[in-house]
Amino acid sequence: MATAPLQARLLARVDGGELAIPSLPQAAVEAMRELDRPEPRPRQLASILSTDAGFTAEVLRVASSALFGGGAPIVSLPQAITRLGLQRIKELAILVAARSRLALPGVLAQPIRALLRHSLATAIVANEIARQRRARVEESFLAGLLHDLGRLVLLTALRDELGDRPPPSAAELFALTDELHGRVGALLVERWGLGRAIRDAVGAHHAPRADELAAVVALADRIAHELLGDAVLPPDAPKVAAALDLYPEDLEEIVARAGDLASTVAVIS
C-alpha cells in the first residue's frame, strides 16, 4: 500500500497544530499537581489516586511487579508510596496513564504492547546508563519511558485518517511514525507538563547531538531493542556510546545491571 500520502497528511496535521494530543487522566493530573508541591502529602496523593479505581488497581499491580523489585505484594496506595517513593509513583502513574490513554485496539494491539514494553525497557536501561555516568539519573527513567510515545499519538491520528479503508500492515504503520514521533512525543511531554529537559530529550532522541539526556535515551533505545530481541544492536550504537564516553566494558556492566529485561517488562500485558 502506498503510504506516502498518509505520511504527508500526518505531517500537515502536525505542522498545522491539528494533531490531537491526549490529556492525562484527571487522577494523574491531580497526582502530578500534588507531587509538584514543595512538600507533597502522601496521604493526599493516595486519596487522589484512589478516586480512579482502574488506575489504582493498575498502579498496585505494576508496583508489586519485578519492575520495582518484586517482594511482598503491595496492597494499598499508601504502602506503594512508602515502598517506592514519590518519584517512582510519579513515573508509574505516567506509565499507567500512557497505557490507558494511548492503547489502540484491533490490529495494532500487539505492536503497541510491544512498543510499551520497549519504552519500559528503554527507561530501565537509560536509568542504568545514567547511573554508570553518575549524571542525570533522576530524569533518565522518565525520558526513556516517554521517548516513543509520540508513535502512539501518531497511530491514533492514522486510524482517523484511514477511516474505513483497510489498514496497512502494522510494520508499515509503525514505519510511518518514524520521522515524526520524536517531535510529537515532545508535544505530548509538554502537554503533560513534564518539564523542558524531558521534552528536549524525547524530541531529540533520534538525533541527540548536544543534548546529554537525549543521547542517554538514544543509546538506551538501541540497547533495549537488542535486549528484548526485536532488533540487533544498530551499527551506530558504538558511536552513540562514544559520545557519552562509554566503552564496551561499561556497556557490559549496564546490560548486566539492567537484568532480565524481558521478564521485567512482561508487566505490560
Partner 1 sequence: MSATSAVAADAQFDVIVIGSGPAGQKAAIQAAKAGRRALVVEERARPGGACVQRGTIPSKTLRETALALTGLRRRSGGVIDVEPPPDLKLASLMRRLDEVVAAHQRFIDDQLRRNEVTVWHGRARLFSPTEVAVRDVGGEVRVAAAPTVVIAVGSRPRNPPEVPIDHEHILDSDSILSIPYLPRSLTVVGGGVIACEYACIFAALGVDVTILDRGARPLAFLDAELTAELTRALERMGARFRGGVTPRAIAWDGAATVVTLDDGEEVRADKLLYCVGREANLDKLGLQNAGLRANARGLLDVDGATFETAVRGVYAVGDVIGPPALAATAMEQGRRAVCHALGLPAPNALGAIPVGVYTIPELAMVGLSEEQARDHHGAIAVGRARFAEVARGQIAAVDDGLLKLVCDASGRQILGVHIVGDGAADLVHIGQVAMLAGWSPEAFVDNVFNFPTLAEAYRIAALDVRRHAAR
Binding site for partner 1 (CB under 8 A): 36, 38-39, 42, 81-87, 130-131, 134-139, 195, 197, 238, 241-243, 245-248
Q: How far is the CB of 249 from partner 1 (least distance, A)?
A: 9
Output phi, psi for 200, to 5 deg.
Answer: -65, -40
- Tell me whether residue 2 or residue 72 sits nearer to partner 1 (CB atom): 72
- Tell me whether residue 66 or residue 135 sits nearer to partner 1 (CB atom): 135
Q: Which helix (H) or strand (E) holds 252?
A: helix 248-258
Four-CA torsion 144, 151, 108, 94, nearest 10 degrees:
40
User: Are the C-beta atoms of residues 238 and 98 closer than 8 Å to each other?
Assistant: no
Cα–Cα distances in angstroms (integers) from residue 153 to residues 45, 51, 58, in the given order: 28, 26, 22
- Tell me whether residue 153 or residue 201 sits nearer to partner 1 (CB atom): 201
C-alpha cell at 150: 509520540
C-alpha cell at 41: 502529602
- Tell me whether residue 153 or residue 189 sits nearer to partner 1 (CB atom): 189
- Tell me whether residue 80 or residue 187 sits nearer to partner 1 (CB atom): 80
User: Are the C-beta atoms of residues 116 and 98 closer than 8 Å to each other?
Assistant: yes
Output phi, psi for 104, to 5 deg.
Answer: -115, 145
- Tell me whether residue 48 or residue 152 sits nearer to partner 1 (CB atom): 48
- Tell me whether residue 50 or residue 82 sits nearer to partner 1 (CB atom): 82
Rounded Cα distance, 245 and 260, in Å:
25
Rounded Cα distance, 239 and 265, in Å:
27
Q: How far is the CB of 218 from partner 1 (least distance, A)?
A: 15
Q: How far is the CB of 245 from partner 1 (least distance, A)?
A: 5
Q: How far is the CB of 90 from partner 1 (least distance, A)?
A: 12
Q: How far is the CB of 138 from partner 1 (least distance, A)?
A: 5
Q: How far is the CB of 190 from partner 1 (least distance, A)?
A: 16
Cα–Cα distances in angstroms (integers) from residue 46 to residues 52, 93, 240, 263, 264, in the given order: 11, 12, 40, 28, 25
Q: How far is the CB of 248 from partner 1 (least distance, A)?
A: 5
